[in-house]
């Protein structure tokens, strides 16, 4: 049960899937590599409004995953300040989540895309009306969204956690707004959004069809407010009551079970840690034996220090 396909017994190889693997350059580089991921992860997560702390023990980390860039042309390409993210609005920027780097004009770091028609995304670009998350909320309900008005994706990241609980505590409060059966998976996918009315962060939770003990959580967007509570004393809350309530549970998840980051970094993020990342999971989780070239291509661009691709 503890064994994961992504990590060999020696703990020196990380696999995103059967098509690609990461091999540490040397034993000494293990912790460095872990630190690399978590330093970056903390940075990245903080961009999303989370302050995930680094685990105490590197061996708790079981694997790092892949990401899908298939939708890059639609979701990235300078659209972090897209229409949906505008609703962070006036509330924004408590702790800087919604402002600052969050509104970093990603367009300045051009994101390579496999889709040559990425330029078409310019039609989606809000013409500088909003400054990142400082704009006004979308006034048109998506249900009444006009035809041709594309759904703007926010940057995403996902991670996998070995847990029997579907909905992991992360210090924020979530409201479930949908559940849907997923193709090729016996487990439904649940859709959550942050209960903060000014926050548009969404979260998808599903179980891996390959390993039902693994929960795949995908966050989309950035919180524009503090969390209610935070693991291991790193409380941001102004409400001690809540803080005390959440701390122990979350700590257990993040540090006893470890956080499995299932993510990717857009090539541009290797140049600027200020940039949020976009992680897209595939429409259907890849079969163990199936290969998604798009993953491979992207992973090839991301080689953490001390690691080499095999």
Partner DNA sequence: CGAGTTTGACCAGCGC
Partner DNA sequence: GCGCTGGTCAAACTCG
Shortest approach of DNA to residue 176 CB, angstroms? 4
Give me the phi and psi of 21, to 5 degrees please: -140, 155
Q: Does 177 bind DNA (CB under 7 A)?
A: yes
CA distance 216 to 208: 7
**What is the side-by-side order of every strand in the sheet holding 13-17?**
13-17, 20-24, 307-309
Closer CB to DNA, 40 or 280, in the complex: 280
Q: Does 143 bind DNA (CB under 7 A)?
A: yes
CA distance 45 to 43: 5
Q: Does 288 bind DNA (CB under 7 A)?
A: no
Q: Does 180 bind DNA (CB under 7 A)?
A: yes
Q: Taking a C-beta distance cutoff of 8 angstroms, is the pair 192, 175 a contact?
A: yes
Q: Does 136 bind DNA (CB under 7 A)?
A: no
Start-end of H helices in the chain: 29-48, 72-75, 240-251, 293-299
Q: Which of 284, 290, 291, 303 binds DNA (CB under 7 A)?
A: 284
How many residues bind DNA, per CB under 7 A?
33
Closer CB to DNA, 122 or 149, in the complex: 149
CA distance 229 to 159: 20
Closer CB to DNA, 149 or 256, in the complex: 149
Q: Which of 57, 129, 175, 308 binds DNA (CB under 7 A)?
A: 175
Burial (Cβ within 10 Å: 0-12, 13-18, ≥19) of residue 36? middle
Give me the phi and psi of 101, to 5 degrees please: -60, -30
Task: Write out the H or E segment, with its range, that includes residue 17.
Answer: strand 13-17
Q: Does 225 bind DNA (CB under 7 A)?
A: no
Binding pattern to DNA, positions 59-98, x when CB under 7 A? -----------xx--x------------------------
Q: Does 149 bind DNA (CB under 7 A)?
A: yes
Q: Does 308 bind DNA (CB under 7 A)?
A: no
Q: Does 204 bind DNA (CB under 7 A)?
A: yes
Of 84, 135, 127, 79, give the one whose Cα is nearest residue 105: 79
Q: Does 129 bind DNA (CB under 7 A)?
A: no
Question: Which residues make up the interface to DNA (CB under 7 A)?
Answer: 70-71, 74, 141-143, 145-151, 173-183, 189-192, 195, 202, 204, 283-284
């Amino acid at each position: 049960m503890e064994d994961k396909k992504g990590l060999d017994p020696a703990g020196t190889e990380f696999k995103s899937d059967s098509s690609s693997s990461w091999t540490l350059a040397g034993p000494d580089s293990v912790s460095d590599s872990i630190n690399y991921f978590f330093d970056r992860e903390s940075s990245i997560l903080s961009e999303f409004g989370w302050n995930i702390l680094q685990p105490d023990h590197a061996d708790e980390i079981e694997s790092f995953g892949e990401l899908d860039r298939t939708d890059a042309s639609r979701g990235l390409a300078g659209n972090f300040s897209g229409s949906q993210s505008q609703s962070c609005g006036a509330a924004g920027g408590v702790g800087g989540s919604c402002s600052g780097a969050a509104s970093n004009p990603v367009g300045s770091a051009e994101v390579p895309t496999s889709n040559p028609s990425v330029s078409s995304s310019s039609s989606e670009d809000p013409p500088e009306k909003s400054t990142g998350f400082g704009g006004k909320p979308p006034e048109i309900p998506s249900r009444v969204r006009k035809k041709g008005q594309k759904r703007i994706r926010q940057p995403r990241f996902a991670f996998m956690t070995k847990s029997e609980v579907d909905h992991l505590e992360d210090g924020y409060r979530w409201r479930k707004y949908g559940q849907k059966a997923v193709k090729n998976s016996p487990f439904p996918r649940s859709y959550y959004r942050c209960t903060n009315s000014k926050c548009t962060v969404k979260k998808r939770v599903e179980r891996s069809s390959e390993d039902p003990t693994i929960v795949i959580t995908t966050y989309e967007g950035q919180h524009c407010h503090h969390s209610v509570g935070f693991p291991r004393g790193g409380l941001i809350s102004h409400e001690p009551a809540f803080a005390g309530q959440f701390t122990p549970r979350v700590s257990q998840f993040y540090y006893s079970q470890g956080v499995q980051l299932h993510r990717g970094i857009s090539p541009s993020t290797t140049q600027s840690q200020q940039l949020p990342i976009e992680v897209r999971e595939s429409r259907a989780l890849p079969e163990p034996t199936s290969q998604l070239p798009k993953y491979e291509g992207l992973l090839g661009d991301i080689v953490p220090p001390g690691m080499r691709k095999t």
